[in-house]
Copies of this chain bind each other. A is one copy, B any other.
Amino acid sequence: MHVTVLGAGYMGSAIACVARRRGHDVRLWGTWLDDALLEACERGAPHPRLKLGLDGIALLRSSLLAEALRGAELVILAVNSEGVVPVMTRAVRFLPNVPVLSVTKGLLESSATGHMDRIDVVAAQALRRAVRFVHAGGPAKAMEIARGVLTWMQFAGSLEDVEACARALRDDALVVSVTDDLAGAALCSALKNAYATGLGLWDGYVGADAHNARAACFTQAIVELRALVAAGGGRIETVHGPAGIGDLHVTAAAGRNRLFGERVGRGQPAREVAAEMSASGELTEGYPAISAAWRFAREQGVCDLPLLESIHAIVWEAADVGDTLARFRIIPT
């Protein structure tokens, strides 16, 4: 099968490895921001972020978008959320009528409505053309899927397309379940970054002995995700599967979002932590994700989100960590 991956960063190169492992003919196209990454790979060096070689994968620079998409039977969209509209705008006239499996997670402002919305919705509005978007949710750190660690992903979209994507990529290490709840899965993926960052706040503020508080907030995050997903047209059962519980778990357990939260929890202003992490090439998605999630919640009219409200106040309104966490109240349901 001809598989084209758009975006040669961490996740794009990892999913290209998965597709190659399944025996597909894989083309990895880099955006205009990926030149340095592809250059290293062209020299035969490991991918600078993934730290793995990309043997057997065709590498295409950004000028070769038409060539990258020619004859593709499956397109995997793996640029960051800000890159989706610019890349898809250029790609759309070369895009065959095949499923576009998106591993990109986030919310974007719709130029049509001025509101925050799912990436697939905003992209379809911008492209003025239906795209067969399939969203890939679930707990899937790029490094680990590339290395074949057991991973459970959930593909969401039209049932015909999700089944085709699942058949193309599942193997012994990659379990793929499917759902037609594109809204629910995409919203879980977009919103969990905000909550995962918040869970790190407790570690930084209370220290190691706040397991009860962290577990309470993990549970409360699921409660709030349910409300937000339902408001956005998704189904709550999706929150209780890999795209919700699973992805929140992996994001909160490790990584830059948690680290960002921990540093803020220890009392360093969020803007300062974000600037420092950004300067060292570690900028967390969780920082803007909190602002985007909070805006989405207000635009959807969802109230009773005490956890998200606290996280937002600390990270975006410079509220005092101690005061805010001390006043934070779970609303028993």
Contacts and interface: CB of A to CB of B under 8 A. Distances in A.
Interface in A305-323: none
A85 B197 CA distance: 45
A275 interface: no
Interface string A119-147: 00000000000000000001111011101
A202 to B, nearest CB: 8
Contacts of A329: 175
B206 A218 contact: no
The quantity of this chain's copies bound in the complex is: 2
A271 interface: no
Interface in A129-170: 138-141, 143-145, 147, 149-152
A145 B210 CA distance: 10
Nearest to A245: B219
Nearest to A208: B254
Residue with the greatest number of chain B CB neighbours at <10 A, chosen from A143, A212, A253: A212
B219 A147 contact: no
Interface in A225-252: 240-242, 245-247, 249-250
A328 interface: yes
A189 to B, nearest CB: 13
Interface residues of A, number: 46
Contacts of A16: none
Interface string A23-36: 00000000000000
Interface string A193-213: 000000000000010011111
Given A141-B211, A206-B149, A222-B240, A216 B330 contact: no
A176 interface: yes
Given A149-B206, A241-B333, A332-B176, A139 B247 contact: no
Nearest to A250: B215
Given A152-B330, A177-B333, A218-B246, A139 B240 contact: no
B143 A209 contact: yes
A332 B178 contact: yes
Nearest to A143: B209
Given A139-B219, A216-B150, A241-B219, A144 B211 contact: yes
A216 B325 CA distance: 30
Nearest to A328: B150
Given A240-B222, A246-B215, A144 B210 contact: yes
A209 B241 contact: no
B152 A246 contact: no
A332 B175 contact: yes
A213 B149 CA distance: 7
A249 B105 CA distance: 24
Given A245-B222, A245-B245, A212 B151 contact: yes
Contacts of A332: 152, 175-178
11 contacts: A139-B216, A140-B212, A141-B211, A144-B211, A149-B212, A149-B213, A152-B219, A152-B220, A178-B332, A216-B242, A240-B240
